[in-house]
């Protein structure tokens, strides 16, 4: 076992002499195995080890006993030990996520915090081959690209996984041979969590009824997927640098160039830009990406997770954050007052008067949306805002950025161009709404 793990450490350059390593230790067989092996290799690599046990405050006395057990284990080996208590149910409730996800986030947040504050260089976690197979299967079921099908990487930043090529059965067998005790987490035996359903139901069934040695076979392909993923990621980045306009809250590129791009690279461009704009690909599935690829036609748009959307105009496809407010530094001031017949109406590019009583929904400053209309003739119905902009010869590239004052889908004022006839002051007007727009210096 130790030789197998050491081979993987050397193959992926996981450890250098003199490294300081945070080890996540739950007290279960996997993490105790990892702790014991790194303890055995400590002298050879001149390692500084810190075992971190995170108490999730879920299992009461059982969790307390896990902490006591882990501390005793570390004292016997003279390994520095630290107990961190985090109320995972409360974290899950505050963030609106499952306890399973909250526990994972809490663990990694803690590990990285210790590294940052105390100068530790590596974080060793006890994921093994079965864990990797579960990850790959889950990514496949929820919809994933090549990167998800590649599973876990042996090394990812500070994270190292020395047990990644070892089966769970091999770990337990070795621990029994070495007479090393461990704790069993009762929550690992339930099927209330997604991981446990895969671990205890789906994967064993596949192994027994369809493919013997399935976990080994599914993880054998990880290198192929990782290489393909790296190549496509590099090619997509080249295309982005050549053709995409990258702004702080939006990316856009010409539809003519987009249509020439292979669909495999389109998927990577989409994922890359969403990750750049939001800092995460959480909740973005293969289904979302495929929906973007199917999007066609000027004016079409699609909402995506993370407050993102994709939309098309005549020449360009855009990926950006959902927002109806035009330019945060554009300030709207308004006031109401009685109108006296014959009163001189203010004539100003950025100040307009409206008949307050004709407003149906309420006015707001925003940019255009699908369904917007404007009345341009005094005695006729409204027309689509898009058609007005075409008739007014407003350049395509700025139509989505023009500020509007809107009453629901009825446009009161296309700022810099014209007002709607439907809201103008007449002899019957009783109350004036004055709206003034100014650019803030803040």
DSSP assignment string, 93-128:
HHHT--HHHHHHHHHHHHHHHHHHHH---EEE----
280-289 contacts, C-beta under 8 A, 24 or more apart: 280/306, 282/306, 285/142, 285/143, 285/144, 286/143, 286/144, 286/145, 287/143, 289/145
* Token pair 């993987």: residue: 8
Q: Are 44 and 74 in contact (CB under 8 A)?
A: no
Query: What residues contact 283, with CB distance under 8 A and at least 6 apart?
Result: 305, 306
Rounded distance between C-alpha atoms, residue 309 and residue 261, angstroms: 20
* Token pair 């700022």: residue: 415
Rounded distance between C-alpha atoms, residue 71 and residue 52, angstroms: 9
The enclosing H or E element of 430 equals none
Task: Work out the burial of residue 75: count CB atoms within 10 Å of its CB; fewer than 13 is exposed, 13-18 middle, 19 or more buried.
Answer: exposed
Confirm or deny that 342 is annotated as ligand binding: no
Rounded distance between C-alpha atoms, residue 362 and residue 327, angstroms: 20
Confirm or deny that 440 is annotated as ligand binding: no
Helix, strand and coil content of the chain, in percent to the nearest 5, comes to: 45, 20, 35
Rounded distance between C-alpha atoms, residue 354 and residue 335, angstroms: 11
End-to-end CA distance of the chain: 62
Confirm or deny that 263 is annotated as ligand binding: no
Query: What residues contact 79, with CB distance under 8 A and at least 6 apart?
Result: 35, 39, 49, 50, 51
Longest dimension (CA), the chain: 100
Confirm or deny that 31 is annotated as ligand binding: yes
Query: What residues contact 373, with CB distance under 8 A and at least 6 apart?
Result: 382, 383, 384, 385, 409, 410, 411
| Residue (of 386, 378, 380) closest to 414 by Cα position | 386
Torsion angles phi and psi, residue 362, rounded to 5: 135, 145
Q: Are 87 and 99 in contact (CB under 8 A)?
A: no
Q: How many CB atoms lie within 10 A of CB 427?
A: 7
Confirm or deny that 29 is annotated as ligand binding: yes
Task: Provide the total of helices (H) and of strands (E) in the chain, helices listed first.
Answer: 17, 20
Q: Give the annotated binding-site residues for ATP.
A: 26-31
Residue list, annotated binding site: 26-31
């Amino acid at each position: 076992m130790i030789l197998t793990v050491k081979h993987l450490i050397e193959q992926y350059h996981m450890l250098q002499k003199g490294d300081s390593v945070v080890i996540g230790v739950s007290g279960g067989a996997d993490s105790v195995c990892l702790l014991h092996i790194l303890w055995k290799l400590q002298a050879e690599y001149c390692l500084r080890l810190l075992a971190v046990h995170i108490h999730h405050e879920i299992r009461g006395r059982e969790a307390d006993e896990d902490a006591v057990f882990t501390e005793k284990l570390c004292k016997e080996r003279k390994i520095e030990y630290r107990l961190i208590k985090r109320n995972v149910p409360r974290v899950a409730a505050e963030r609106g996520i499952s306890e399973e996800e909250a526990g994972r986030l809490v663990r990694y947040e803690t590990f990285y915090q210790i590294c940052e504050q105390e100068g530790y260089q590596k974080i060793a976690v006890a994921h093994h081959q079965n864990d990797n197979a579960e990850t790959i299967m889950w990514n496949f079921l929820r919809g994933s690209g090549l990167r998800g099908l590649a599973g876990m990487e042996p090394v990812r930043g500070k994270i190292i996984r020395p047990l990644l090529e070892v089966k769970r059965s091999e770990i337990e067998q070795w621990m029994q041979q070495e007479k090393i005790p461990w704790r069993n987490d009762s929550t690992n035996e339930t099927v209330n969590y997604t991981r446990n359903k895969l671990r205890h139901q789906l994967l064993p069934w596949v192994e027994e009824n369809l493919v013997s040695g399935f976990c080994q076979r599914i993880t054998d392909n990880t290198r192929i997927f990782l290489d393909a993923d790296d190549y496509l990621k590099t090619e997509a980045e080249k295309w982005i640098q050549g053709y995409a306009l990258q702004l702080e809250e939006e990316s856009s590129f010409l539809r003519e160039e987009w249509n020439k791009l292979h669909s495999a690279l389109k998927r990577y461009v989409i994922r890359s830009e969403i990750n750049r704009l939001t800092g995460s690909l959480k909740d973005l599935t293969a289904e979302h990406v495929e929906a973007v690829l199917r999007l066609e036609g000027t004016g079409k748009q699609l909402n995506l997770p993370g407050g993102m959307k994709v939309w098309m105009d005549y020449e360009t496809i855009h990926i950006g954050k959902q927002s109806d407010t035009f330019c945060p530094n554009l300030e709207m001031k308004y006031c109401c007052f009685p109108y006296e017949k014959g009163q001189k109406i203010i004539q100003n590019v950025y100040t307009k008067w409206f008949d307050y009583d004709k407003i149906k929904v309420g006015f707001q400053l925003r940019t255009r949306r699908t369904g917007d209309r404007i009345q341009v003739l005094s005695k006729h119905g409204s027309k689509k805002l898009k058609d007005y902009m075409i008739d007014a010869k407003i350049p395509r590239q700025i139509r989505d950025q023009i500020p509007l004052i809107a009453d629901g889908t009825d446009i009161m004022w296309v700022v810099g161009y014209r007002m709607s006839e439907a809201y103008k002051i007449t002899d019957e007007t009783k109350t004036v709404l004055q709206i003034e727009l100014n650019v803030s210096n803040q």
